[in-house]
Structure 1
Amino acid sequence: MRVDLHLHTTASDGLLEPAALVSAVRAARLQVFSVTDHDTVDALAEVEAQARALGLRLIPGIELSAMWHRVEFHILGYFVDPADAALLAFLQDRREARGRRLQLMLNRLRTLGMAVEADEVLARAQDGNVGRPHVARVLVDRGFVASTDEAFERYLGDGKPAYVPRPDVTVAEAIRTIHDAGGLASLAHPGLHNRDDAIPDLMAAGLDAIEAYHVCHSAGVTAHYRRLAERRGLLLTGGSDFHGGTGGDHGPAPGMPCLPEAEFVRLEAAVPARRAAMRS
Structure 2
Amino acid sequence: MSILPTLNADLHCHSVVSDGTFTPEALAERAKANGVHLWALTDHDELGGQKHAREAASALNLDYLAGVEISVTWMGETIHIVGLGIDAEHVGIIEGLRRTREGRGNRAQLMADQLAKVGIYGAYEGALHCAGNHQLISRTHFARYLVEQGVCRNTEHVFKNYLIEGKPGYVPHQWASLDDAVAWIKASGGVAVIAHPGRYSRLNAMQMDDELYKRFKDLGGLAIEVVTGSHSPDQYKTYAKIAEQYGFLASRGSDFHDPNESHIDLGNLPLLPDHLTPVWSAFH
TM-score norm. by structure 2 comes to: 0.87
Displacement of 1:71 in angstroms is: 1.6
Question: Residue deviations 1:115-173, cap 9 Å, x none?
Answer: 22534322211234210000111122223333222221221112211100122322122
Deviation at 1:235, TM superposition (A): 1.0
Aligned match of 2:55:
49
Q: Are the counterparts in 2 of residues 215 and 256 from structure 1 also a CA contact under 8 Å? A: no
Q: Determine the structure 1 residue equivalent to 2:278.
A: 263
One of 218, 240, 246 as aligned partner of 1:204 = 218
Q: Is the counterpart of residue 185 in structure 1 residue 192 in structure 2?
A: yes
CA deviation string 1:184-236 (max 9, x = no partner): 11101112225332211222232211101112323332222222222222111
- Determine if contact 2:100/2:175 at 8 Å carries over to the other structure: no
Conservation of the 8 A alpha-carbon contact between 1:236 and 1:267: no
Partner in structure 1 of residue 115 of structure 2: 109
What root-mean-square deviation, in Å, do the aligned CA atoms of Structure 1 and Structure 2 show? 1.9
CA distance in 2, matches of 1:146, 1:218: 23
Q: Extract unaligned runs of 5+ from structure 1.
A: 270-280
Greater shift, 109-118 or 46-55, is seen at 109-118
CA deviation after TM superposition for structure 1 residue 252, in Å:
2.7
Q: What is aligned with 1:31? A: 37
What residue ranges of structure 2 are gaps of 5+ in the alignment? Answer: 1-6
In 2, Cα distance between equivalents of 1:209 and 1:145: 36
Number of equivalences: 267
User: Which aligned segments of 4 or more residues in structure 1 are displaced greater than 4 angstroms?
Assistant: 258-262
Matches within 5 A, 1:95-106: 95-106=101-112
Residue 175 (1) aligns with residue 182 (2): yes
Please give the residue correspondences for 1:67-216 in structure 2 after superposition, counting only pairs within 5 Å.
Answer: 67-116=73-122, 118-128=124-134, 129-194=136-201, 195=204, 196-197=209-210, 198-216=212-230
Residue 257 of structure 1 aligns with an amino acid whose one-letter code is L
Letter in 2 for 1:254: L
Shift of 1:2: 1.9
Give the Å deviation of 1:265.
4.1
Counterpart CA distance in 2 for 1:4 and 1:157 is 28
Of all paired residues, the percent bearing the same amino acid is 32
Pick aligned residue for 1:60 from 58, 63, 66: 66
